[in-house]
């Protein structure tokens, strides 16, 4: 299933001295949006990027062993297939090179302002435009603002008692300290999520000792990774239909897991595979009990790895499940009072998701802050539009996350949806498009109703899908086919089109730079 873009012009009228569109972020979502604009003949846009290179999460995460847990033929743009992937599961470096190749092919670098971190955005009612502020002091004015920062960009570090007194080295997996040599060091890893199970096997052989602090054991299934053969590469190049069929087959296999989200009994087969995997690789019954989840599979993200369990059985590795009581100058005190001396602490504790906008400075129509609009919890219509914030589109916004399939599929569906909104804005000769509050409310009610009894709500675990009140604010509660159908066509009645009440004031700050 693909989401090809139409080459029909889709731009809007830019505010005086500004841009038609400002995109924030150069990960898969931001670049996907930019490519869609270029293919539609819209060139008056700028992409603001805080770093000095593109790539999003695949630029930020450079920890040892960093790789994708979705197969490469599916974790790539449907309109930009790559016939020569080196492995079935792409590693960070190859994914980053793929992203850079897309940037160069579509001529996006001239649109990107590197080293430009967005610090806030305010909607100007009188002009129906956005003022985007940056850490450099530059201000960008734009008709449309697309936030493509993604949900996994703010590392989460737990507030451990005494952490500030630790005299060794500390860093998060998403901010890996490559200047620090772990060879021969006593290392503690806090967290056992998707990143940790990739870097733990890489560092275990080189450290003197490795203490892994686990709060909740993840469900892990084998990772069927291998090199893509030369025969397969030649076949993909010469017969593109074979690669599309391969991609669709992987998609359907991944999508089958969604059936178990509302019917956990259907996950028994996958659960059996995970238990077999654990029993096969961990012979010690005590360690095996520590690694056996006590919640329903799918409640947390199911992980894929074939080398994590063996790493934990090494003589220099210890798994601690008693938690962290406190951190001291050169040690960690476990929950049972045991003190472990360490030289470095690595956090594999994930990211801020449901609270990612708690400190964001985003002000919508009538001076409404995003925190006020979301005082009852983050929500957006189809994860894209937010009532009260005209001309603002979120990519990978609330309730558009997946735990079973490729996020690229969702990104392409959302980009297509935004492009249709832009066409409506232009076709209606309007300066403002905004989702109606009642439409957003109905959608959110559907999300919460659909989430009732779902495995991530009723599966007996705490995950990043849920907010502090236990409500699903991150996961899409249905199939990706359902999402594709819902975003395939914009319903005109879902949005309000209007024009600015008066011309833009000449005293408003102009855009600096292009």
**Helix/strand/coil (H/E/C) assignment for every residue in 50-79:** CCCCCCCHHHHCCCCCCECCCCCCCCCCCC
- Work out the average pLDDT over 144-156: 86
d(CA 391, CA 232): 45
Q: How far is CA 256 from the centre of its chain?
A: 21
d(CA 196, CA 198): 5
- Work out the average pLDDT over 160-171: 96
Q: Which two tokens stand for residue 343?
A: 């030289």
d(CA 502, CA 303): 54
DSSP H helices in 125-258:
196-203, 230-238, 240-255
Question: Which pLDDT belongs to residue 13?
Answer: 63
Q: What are phi and psi of 49, to 5 degrees?
A: -130, 125
Question: Which pLDDT belongs to residue 454?
Answer: 84
Do residues 339 and 368 share a domain? no
Do residues 255 and 286 share a domain? yes
Token look-up 């003949």 returns 41
Gyration radius from the chain CA atoms: 24
Do residues 186 and 321 share a domain? yes
Token look-up 């001529």 returns 107
Decide if 263 is inside a domain.
yes
User: Which whole-number Å values give the CA distances from 170 to 78, 200, 201, 330, in the listed order?
Assistant: 39, 16, 19, 11
Average pLDDT, the chain: 91
Pick from 1-5, 88-92, 268-272 the range whose average pLDDT is largest. 88-92
pLDDT digits (tens, 9 = 90+) for 38-54: 999 999 999 999 999 99
Question: Which pLDDT belongs to residue 257?
Answer: 83
Do residues 311 and 169 share a domain? yes
DSSP H helices in 282-345:
285-290, 308-312
Decide if 508 is inside a domain.
no
Q: Which two tokens stand for residue 387?
A: 């009532």
Instruction: Work out whether the CA dihedral 309, 454, 264, 482 comes out positive or negative.
Output: negative
145: nearest Cα among 382, 390, 354, 369: 390
Do residues 313 and 420 share a domain? no
Decide if 488 is inside a domain.
yes
Q: What are phi and psi of 57, to 5 degrees?
A: -60, -25
Name the pLDDT band for 505 (thresholds 50, 70, 90).
very low
Percent of the chain with pLDDT over 90: 80
What pairs with residue 139 in β-bridges?
133
- Overall number of domains in the chain: 2
Decide if 481 is inside a domain.
yes
Decide if 311 is inside a domain.
yes
137: nearest Cα among 151, 116, 123: 116
Do residues 410 and 443 share a domain? yes
Non-local CB neighbours of 367 within 8 Å, separated by 6+ positions:
none
- Environment class of 307 (CB within 10 Å of its CB; exposed 0-12, middle 13-18, buried 19+): middle
Does residue 431 contact residue 239 with C-beta atoms inside 8 Å? no
Decide if 69 is inside a domain.
no
pLDDT digits (tens, 9 = 90+) for 252-304: 999 988 887 777 677 777 889 999 999 999 999 999 999 999 988 888 889 99
Max Cα–Cα distance, the chain, nearest Å: 74
142: nearest Cα among 241, 23, 264, 320: 23
Please state the pTM of the whole predicted model: 0.92
Is pLDDT at 8 greater than 60 in this prediction?
no
Query: Residue 234: left (phi > 0), alpha (psi -120 to 50), or beta?
Result: alpha
Does residue 314 contact residue 308 with C-beta atoms inside 8 Å? no
Helix axes 28-39, 92-105, angle to 10 degrees: 20
Do residues 383 and 459 share a domain? yes
d(CA 362, CA 123): 8
Decide if 60 is inside a domain.
no
CATH code assigned at 283: 3.50.50.60
Do residues 205 and 343 share a domain? yes
Q: Which of 295, 326, 347 is the last residue of a domain?
A: 347
What pairs with residue 496 in β-bridges?
434
DSSP H helices in 306-454:
308-312, 370-373, 407-427, 437-451
Question: Which pLDDT belongs to residue 502?
Answer: 55
d(CA 41, CA 30): 17
End-to-end CA distance of the chain: 36
DSSP letter, residue 134: E
| Structural domain span for residue 244 | 163-226+233-347
Length of the chain counted residue by residue: 514
Does residue 305 contact residue 149 with C-beta atoms inside 8 Å? no
- Work out the average pLDDT over 491-496: 96
Helix axes 28-39, 407-427, angle to 10 degrees: 40
Task: Provide the 3-class DSSP secondary structure of residue 407.
Answer: helix
DSSP H helices in 92-226:
92-105, 196-203
d(CA 497, CA 499): 7
Do residues 210 and 325 share a domain? yes
Do residues 261 and 356 share a domain? no
Torsion of CA 400, 402, 405, 410, to 10 degrees: 10
156: nearest Cα among 195, 117, 209, 114: 195
pLDDT digits (tens, 9 = 90+) for 21-77: 999 999 999 999 999 999 999 999 999 999 999 999 999 999 999 999 999 999 999
Percent of the chain with pLDDT over 70: 93
pLDDT digits (tens, 9 = 90+) for 466-475: 888 889 999 9
Q: What are phi and psi of 122, to 5 degrees?
A: -130, 135
Do residues 388 and 458 share a domain? yes
d(CA 443, CA 455): 20
- Work out the average pLDDT over 309-331: 97
Do residues 317 and 415 share a domain? no
Decide if 123 is inside a domain.
yes
């Amino acid at each position: 299933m693909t989401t090809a873009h139409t080459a029909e012009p889709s731009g809007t009228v830019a505010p005086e001295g500004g841009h038609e569109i400002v995109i924030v972020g150069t990960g898969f979502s931001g670049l996907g949006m930019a490519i869609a604009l270029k293919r539609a003949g819209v060139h008056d846009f700028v992409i603001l990027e805080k770093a000095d290179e593109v790539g999003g999460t695949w630029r930020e995460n450079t920890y040892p062993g960093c790789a994708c847990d979705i197969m490469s033929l599916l974790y790539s743009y449907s309109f930009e297939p790559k016939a020569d992937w080196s492995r079935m599961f792409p590693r960070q470096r190859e994914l980053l090179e793929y992203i850079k190749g897309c940037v160069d092919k579509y001529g996006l670098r001239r649109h990107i302002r590197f080293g430009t971190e967005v610090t806030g955005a305010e909607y100007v009612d009188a002009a129906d435009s956005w003022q985007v502020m940056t850490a450099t002091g530059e201000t960008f004015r734009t008709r449309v603002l697309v936030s493509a920062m993604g949900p996994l960009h703010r590392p989460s570090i737990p507030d451990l008692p005494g952490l500030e007194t630790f005299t060794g080295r500390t860093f998060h997996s998403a901010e890996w300290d490559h200047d620090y040599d772990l060879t021969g060091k006593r290392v503690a890893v806090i967290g056992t999520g998707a990143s940790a199970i990739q870097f733990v096997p890489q560092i275990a052989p080189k450290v003197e000792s490795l203490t892994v602090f686990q709060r909740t054991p993840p469900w892990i299934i084998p990772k069927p990774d291998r090199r893509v053969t030369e025969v397969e590469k030649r076949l993909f190049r010469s017969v593109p239909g074979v690669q599309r069929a391969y991609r669709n087959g992987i998609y359907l296999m991944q999508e089958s897991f969604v059936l178990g989200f509302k019917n956990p009994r259907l996950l028994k087969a996958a659960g059996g595979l995970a238990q077999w995997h654990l029993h096969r690789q961990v012979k010690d019954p005590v360690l095996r009990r520590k690694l056996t989840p006590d919640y329903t599979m799918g409640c947390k993200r199911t992980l894929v790895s074939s080398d994590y369990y063996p790493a934990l059985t090494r003589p220099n590795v210890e798994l601690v499940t008693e938690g962290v009581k406190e951190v001291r100058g050169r040690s960690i005190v476990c929950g049972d009072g045991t003190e472990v001396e360490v030289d470095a602490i690595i956090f594999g504790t994930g990211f801020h998701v449901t609270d990612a906008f708690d400190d964001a400075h985003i002000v919508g129509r009538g001076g409404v802050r995003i925190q006020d609009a979301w005082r009852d919890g983050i929500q957006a219509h189809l994860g894209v539009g937010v009532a009260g914030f005209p001309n603002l589109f979120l990519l990978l916004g609330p309730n558009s996350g997946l735990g079973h399939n490729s996020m690229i599929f969702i990104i392409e569906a959302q980009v297509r949806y935004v492009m249709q909104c832009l066409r409506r804005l232009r076709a209606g000769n309007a300066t403002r498009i905004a989702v109606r509050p009642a439409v957003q409310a109905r959608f959110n009610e559907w999300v919460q109703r659909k989430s009732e009894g779902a495995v991530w709500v009723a599966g007996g675990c705490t995950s990043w899908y849920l907010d502090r009140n236990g409500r699903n604010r991150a996961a899409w509660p249905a199939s990706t086919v359902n999402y594709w159908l819902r975003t395939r066509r914009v319903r005109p009645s879902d949005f309000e089109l209007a024009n600015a009440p008066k011309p833009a004031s000449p005293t408003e700050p102009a855009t600096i730079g292009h």
